[in-house]
Amino acid sequence: MSVPSPAFPPERDADVLVVGAGPAGLHAAFYAAWRGLSVTLLDARHEPGGQLTALYPDRRVYDVPGLPAAPAADVIAGLVRQLDGLNVQWHLHTLARTLEPDGEGWRVGATTPDGPRTFRAGAVILAAGLGALLPREARVPGADTHPDVRTDVPDAAELAGRHVLVVGGVPQATRAALELAQAGAQVTLTHRRAGFRGSPADLGALEDAGRSGQLKLLAPATLTTLTPTSASLTVDGQPHDVKADTVLILNGYLPDLTPVQGWPLDWQGEYVPDGVGSRTALPGVFVAGDLAASGQDFKLISVGLAQAAVAANHAAHHVRPDLRVRPGHSSEKRLS
Ligand SMILES: Cc1cc2nc3c(=O)[nH]c(=O)nc-3n(C[C@H](O)[C@H](O)[C@H](O)COP(=O)(O)OP(=O)(O)OC[C@H]3O[C@@H](n4cnc5c(N)ncnc54)[C@H](O)[C@@H]3O)c2cc1C
């Protein structure tokens, strides 16, 4: 669908680069791609969804238009599904750090699992929300001597056959434990409090798996120390050791805005001022979602989605001046 732009050099990675795959970034990516542009979408996390999948995947959201009482994860699944068939390249585990002019476009420097990488685009939409949602650090005695302590959700198949200790009460810990057990890992799930969090379906599956012995549940329990192959816990005041080839510490995510706060966008604290068309102080750089100053106290999904539509359509016109800003009605168009 992408048509080469007369205004920007062909060696760029995409017409539009979106930083952040939360609801605002996903919808911005949709709209820019829907207008026929190529889009690169970056997120520091291993999955899209921003705050919804990182901080409250197990809760229902009541105020997204047209999706009454939708689980947060379903809101994101719909936004992701809307990108099907569109020219959007995903780069997860990718943290945007620098922004530099690149002719009439922009160069964004990022760290990726394969090392540093530069992305070139005609326009940038910054939808970084509260900041990069990075896993909380693991603070367990012995963690530095254990060969395989992780703080992010792994590919379950990679750990099949291993003894895996999953530590944490967040929904991601419950889900990871279930997926790892299904993939053939010997899983122990532990948390310092009595209960685990998760969707009703995941909590039901966890109870079944615990009862059938498919995985072991230890809660409330305190993880006291790690050795290179095992973990020592205290359960009901008694010492309890489990084998642990891999230790997965899932304590949730903390937002970090600092990677983009050096970008010269006239920051107002944690906000980027946005003018007409969601423009920032830099030509060709747009902002949407929680980060945009115009939203003020309305840090809401619905507000971010609207800002994303405005930003993406102005970005489309910026990159391809032959495209009108106004997109027209999607109901009058077909993708193919
Ligand atoms: C507990 C809780 C409940 C909520 N409930 C509701 C509700 O019921 N209704 C509602 O409307 N709103 C709710 N909200 C608010 C809503 O989640 C936010 O308004 C929304 O997520 C903002 O979307 P966003 O895309 O702007 O940012 P985010 O969701 O924060 O997504 C930003 C994304 O950008 C990524 N990112 C940031 N910096 C970088 C970087 N440098 N490089 C790469 N990636 C980066 C982050 O990792 C993240 O994935 C709730 C929020 C919380 C915390």
Query: Average pLDDT for residues 159-177, to the nearest whole number?
Result: 95
pLDDT tens for each residue of 86-133: 999 999 999 999 999 999 999 999 999 999 999 999 999 999 999 999
The answer to whether residue 148 scores a pLDDT higher than 80 is yes
The three-state DSSP-derived secondary structure of the chain is CCCCCCCCCCCCCEEEEEECCCHHHHHHHHHHHHCCCCEEEECCCCCCCCHHHHCCCCCEECCCCCCCCEEHHHHHHHHHHCCCCCCEEEECCCEEEEEEEECCEEEEEEEECCEEEEEEEEEEEECCCCCEEEECCCCCCCCCCCCCEECCCCCHHHHCCCEEEEECCCHHHHHHHHHHHHCCCEEEEECCCCCCCCCHHHHHHHHHHHHHCCEEEECCEEEEEECCCEEEEEECCEEEEEECCEEEECCCEEEECHHHHCCCCCCECCEECCCHHHECCCCCEEECHHHEHHHCCCCCHHHHHHHHHHHHHHHHHHHCCCCCCCCCCHHHCCCC
Instruction: List Cα–Cα distances, 3 to 85, 104, 319, in angstroms.
Output: 15, 18, 11
pLDDT at 45: 95
pLDDT at 260: 97
Residue nearest ligand 1's atom 2 by CA? 56
Ligand 1 center from residue 24 Cα (angstroms) = 8
By mean pLDDT, which of 34-38, 50-54, 159-163, 328-332 is the weakest? 328-332
Alpha carbons 135 and 205: distance in angstroms, whole number: 25
Query: Average pLDDT for residues 33-44, to the nearest whole number?
Result: 97
Ligand 1 center from residue 40 Cα (angstroms) = 19
Which two three-digit tokens encode residue 7?
């205004």
Query: Average pLDDT for residues 179-193, to the nearest whole number?
Result: 96
Ligand 1 center from residue 133 Cα (angstroms) = 9
Ligand 1 center from residue 244 Cα (angstroms) = 34
pLDDT at 7: 46
Ligand 1 center from residue 22 Cα (angstroms) = 5
| Nearest partner of 132 among 46, 38, 61, judged by Cα | 46
Residue nearest ligand 1's atom 5 by CA? 61
Of ligand 1's listed atoms, the one at least distance from the Cα of 61 is 8
Is residue 6 very low, low, confident or very high in pLDDT (cuts 50, 70, 90)? very low
pLDDT at 333: 79
Annotated binding site: 43, 51, 56, 96, 133, 290, 331
The answer to whether residue 49 scores a pLDDT higher than 80 is yes
Give the whole-number percent of the chain exceeding pLDDT 70.
96
pLDDT at 335: 56
The answer to whether residue 10 scores a pLDDT higher than 60 is no
Instruction: List Cα–Cα distances, 187 to 147, 171, 172, 183, in angstroms.
Output: 17, 16, 14, 10
Ligand 1 center from residue 165 Cα (angstroms) = 29
Residue nearest ligand 1's atom 22 by CA? 290
The answer to whether residue 336 scores a pLDDT higher than 80 is no
pLDDT at 4: 40
Residue nearest ligand 1's atom 38 by CA? 132
- Which residues sit with their C-beta closer than 6 Å to ligand 1? 19-25, 42-45, 50-52, 55-56, 61, 63, 95-96, 127-133, 259-260, 289-290, 299-302, 304
Residue nearest ligand 1's atom 51 by CA? 51
pLDDT at 5: 43
Alpha carbons 82 and 21: distance in angstroms, whole number: 13
Query: Average pLDDT for residues 139-150, to the nearest whole number?
Result: 90
Of ligand 1's listed atoms, the one at least distance from the Cα of 260 is 41
Query: Average pLDDT for residues 322-326, to the nearest whole number?
Result: 92
pLDDT at 220: 95
Of ligand 1's listed atoms, the one at least distance from the Cα of 48 is 49
Ligand 1 center from residue 55 Cα (angstroms) = 9
Of ligand 1's listed atoms, the one at least distance from the Cα of 20 is 34
Residue nearest ligand 1's atom 19 by CA? 300
Residue nearest ligand 1's atom 26 by CA? 289
Annotated binding site for FAD: 43, 51, 56, 96, 133, 290, 331
Q: What is the rounded average pLDDT for all residues in the chain?
A: 93
The whole-angstrom distance between residue 223's C-alpha and the CA centroid of its chain comes to: 28
pLDDT tens for each residue of 249-299: 999 999 999 999 999 999 999 999 999 999 999 999 999 999 999 988 899
pLDDT tens for each residue of 53-94: 999 988 999 999 999 999 999 999 999 999 999 999 999 999
- Spatial contact of 16 and 37, defined as CB atoms under 8 Å apart: yes
